[in-house]
Amino acid sequence: MPTTTFLAATTDKNLELVLRVLPAIVVILATSAVCGLLAIRVKQPRVLGEMVAGVLLGPTLFGALFPDAQKAVFTPEAKPVLYVLSTIGLTLFMFLVGAGLDHAGGNGRKDAKNAAVLAVSGIVPSLLLGAASGYLLYDRLSRPDVTPFEFALFVGGALSITAFPMLARILYERGLENSQLGRMTLLGASVDDAAAWCLLAVLTAMHTGAGALQALRTIGLTAVFALVMLTVVSRLLRPMGVRVERTGRFGFDEMYVVVGIVLLAGLFTDYIGIYSVFGGFVAGLAMPREPAFRQALHTRMMDIVCVLLLPVFFAFSGLNTELGGIAGWSMIGAFLLMFTAGFAGKYAGCALAMRGIGFSWRESWAVGGLMNARGLMILIFINIGLAQGMITKEVFSMLVLVAVLTTAGAVPLYRWALPERLERRMSPTAQSVTTGAPSTEAAPAHN
């Protein structure tokens, strides 16, 4: 190939690296675009197609059918660059998720109380059932340097995640974000996600620490970091939010400040051992809450993050996903146990809680279906676990498949429980889904 000959002849190592990385990015973007469009055609969110695209580019399909071509595209030199790009993308994405959370999501004490009930029902059953399945599978699937408690809690934590941004997108598309059910569901899901990241921070500190004192040090630094960000930094940023709200202008100066804070937050949390995405998320929570400021952030940043950087993350995840590795009845049985624990815990737990606080069965099952979607959030969670050595590639592959299947089931389960004729009664502004519209899964975010 001419490119290979040129690469062999060139003495510019930087140019050589560019010529190895850019083809990989082009292949990733092309595959993600095609799979995203196919997902929309079958009335699924675009992110599901992008998740599948990442798996297809890995050893499961591309590597199995064309191993030489896959090695040529995803070279050893390109993979570290892809990892850096995916890490930056995830940090910025989690920042946008945090910035998009509505701290005043409920409408009065009743909605806040109901949201708390939903949040607990979305976390506890799936966490307990997932942890129980992890404990039962520890001897078969875990790494020897991971304790049964850590492994069980990690599996439970992964299965307790809800794809808050995806849920938000569905509700916004249907005009239900301001309905009682919509407000409560968004607030409950946001609490679920925040709890999952806190759990991951604790698990990472426990696993990477040289001992109990080191783990306590990491946890303590994490708490101090969150406190400083949500009090000192948040107060310092308030004038910027007020100025943007008053003038409607969000320029380069504001962007430099915001991006600098996000990257510094990610750097600090990486340094103390809890991964940069947690820093990005907390930095998002510290941002001003003015609507104009939040809208400007998403308008400026979300498209490039979702179109360029997140597909790189999906592809990097796919390179570590070998679905053939879970063949055989023993592995299939382990996967089914995890899937059942996660699905039943979320779906039944949330639905029964909703019914218990006075919603109809149809509304309850609809929320159970939405809360059961895991989307991108579980992929971030398990990628950190794989990078930190808390799980094996077999467990990683199983949880990727759980993510794909539960995400694929979310919208059909919602539609089954709440057909459009019933949905319209819930809100005068409810609209049918425009499946052909651009779906970055991001109203506030991509997932």
Contact 122, 192 (CB under 8 A): yes
Cβ neighbors of 388 (< 8 A, separation 6 or more) are 204, 207, 208, 275
- Per-residue b or e along 288-305, where b marks 16 or more CB atoms closer than 10 Å to that residue's CB: bbbebbbebbbeebbeeb
Report the pLDDT value the prediction gives residue 130, as an integer from 0 to 100: 93
Contact 347, 369 (CB under 8 A): yes
Report the pLDDT value the prediction gives residue 155, as an integer from 0 to 100: 94
- With the C-alpha atoms ordered 392, 400, 275, 164, is the resulting torsion angle positive or negative? negative
Report the pLDDT value the prediction gives residue 243, as an integer from 0 to 100: 93
Report the pLDDT value the prediction gives residue 242, as an integer from 0 to 100: 93
Q: What is the DSSP string of 140-208?
A: HHS-TTS-HHHHHHHHHHHHT---HHHHHHHHHHTT-TTSHHHHHHHHHHHHHHHHHHHHHHHHHHHHH
Report the pLDDT value the prediction gives residue 47, as an integer from 0 to 100: 82
Instruction: Enter the tokens of residue 352.
Output: 């029964």
Report the pLDDT value the prediction gives residue 5, as an integer from 0 to 100: 57
Strand, helix or coil for residue 258: helix
Start-to-end Cα distance in the chain: 39
Amino acid at 283: A
Residue 237 neighbours by CB distance under 10 Å: 20
Contact 119, 192 (CB under 8 A): yes
Residue 140 neighbours by CB distance under 10 Å: 12
Delineate the domains of the chain, giving CATH numbers in brackets: 86-301+331-426 (1.20.1530)
Report the pLDDT value the prediction gives residue 437, as an integer from 0 to 100: 37
Report the pLDDT value the prediction gives residue 432, as an integer from 0 to 100: 40
Report the pLDDT value the prediction gives residue 114, as an integer from 0 to 100: 79
Instruction: Enter the tokens of residue 251.
Output: 């320029």
In angstroms, the CA 82 to CA 87 distance is 9
Contact 187, 112 (CB under 8 A): yes
Report the pLDDT value the prediction gives residue 440, as an integer from 0 to 100: 37
What distance lies between CA 66 and its chain's CA centroid? Answer: 30
Instruction: Enter the tokens of residue 57.
Output: 């580019």
In angstroms, the CA 97 to CA 90 distance is 10
Q: What is the DSSP string of 371-413?
A: HT--HHHHHHHHHHHHHTTSS-HHHHHHHHHHHHHHHHHHHHH
Q: How many H helices and E strands in the chain?
A: 22, 0
DSSP 313: H
User: What is the tens place of the pLDDT at every residue in 41-77?
Assistant: 988 888 888 889 998 998 888 988 999 999 999 999 9
In angstroms, the CA 138 to CA 400 distance is 18
In angstroms, the CA 379 to CA 395 distance is 12
Kindly give the parts of the chain with pLDDT less than 70. Answer: 1-11, 102-111, 165, 168-169, 172-178, 208-215, 325, 327-329, 424-447
Report the pLDDT value the prediction gives residue 370, as an integer from 0 to 100: 86
Contact 432, 174 (CB under 8 A): yes
User: What is the tens place of the pLDDT at every residue in 150-167?
Assistant: 899 999 999 998 877 677
In angstroms, the CA 29 to CA 78 distance is 15
Report the pLDDT value the prediction gives residue 444, as an integer from 0 to 100: 41
